[in-house]
A and B are shown apart, each in its own frame.
Chain A
């Protein structure tokens, strides 16, 4: 069974860079696209972007100027960097896989990142 686990700081200062990593286990890293999705507390889901093991990347146009997603297939993990954060970036951040047909099959449990000084 594929498992995903997010890790990273739970508190980031305004204007700094949010960095998260998602560790993948129990399945092939080369069989999916790997995604980041976020959800502000009490609000809806927002797709951030995706990366393929081959290096292909797609970003949400509304976040593209601040986001970098990368994959390290030697470690079976992928990462998210979001720069110049503000309070509006406070959210639960989930990683998820998309094996095809544009759906999210498996999700991490999510991690809350708070932007505050």
Chain B
């Protein structure tokens, strides 16, 4: 089981958009519409921002959106705000006895 691949860092100015990729294989990201994204501040537990590729839990701003094409999922944060500066992780279902695989994580910096 290999971790999903994310860029180590991404950045944008306030008001701009940033997109983070999450690349897996045909056994995880490509096989299931069960990709979710988590935001994590230093010293805190992660928080789900997107689930089932493009669904937002109640309370998550609509500035956060998700998509998937083939073996790669993406998280887009539009209208960047200072509070969006955090680490972001994707995860995908990876088969019946291998429920979850995480991405390597991306640190988003708001310039």
A residues with CB within 8 A of B = 33, 35, 37, 44-47, 50, 58-62, 94, 96, 98, 101-105, 107-110
Partner of B99, one of A44, A46, A58, A108: A58
What is B's interface to A at a CB cutoff of 8 Å?
A: 1, 3, 32, 34, 36, 38, 40, 44-48, 51-52, 57, 89, 91-93, 97-105
Q: Are B98 and A101 in contact (CB under 8 A)?
A: no
B97 touches A58 (CB 8 A): yes
* A101 CA to B34 CA, complexed, in Å: 6
Are A102 and B32 within 8 A (Cβ)? yes
Q: List the 5 closest pairs (A to B, CB-CB), nearest first.
A: A107-B45, A103-B51, A102-B34, A47-B100, A102-B93
Contacts of A45 in B (CB 8 A): 38, 40, 46, 89, 91, 102, 105
What are 13 A-B contacts defined by CB distance under 8 Å? A35-B100, A44-B105, A45-B38, A45-B40, A45-B91, A47-B91, A47-B102, A58-B98, A58-B99, A96-B45, A104-B38, A107-B45, A110-B45
> Which of A94, A104, A110 meets B48, CB within 8 Å?
A104
- The CA-CA distance from A110 to B41 in the complex, in Å, is 13
B102→A46 contact, CB < 8 A:
yes
Q: Is the CB of A103 within 8 A of B98?
A: no
Known: A44-B3, A61-B1, A102-B32. A109 touches B102 (CB 8 A): no
State A102–B52 Cα separation when bound (angstroms). Answer: 8
**Which among A47, A98, A105, A108 is the interface contact of B101 at CB below 8 angstroms?**
A47
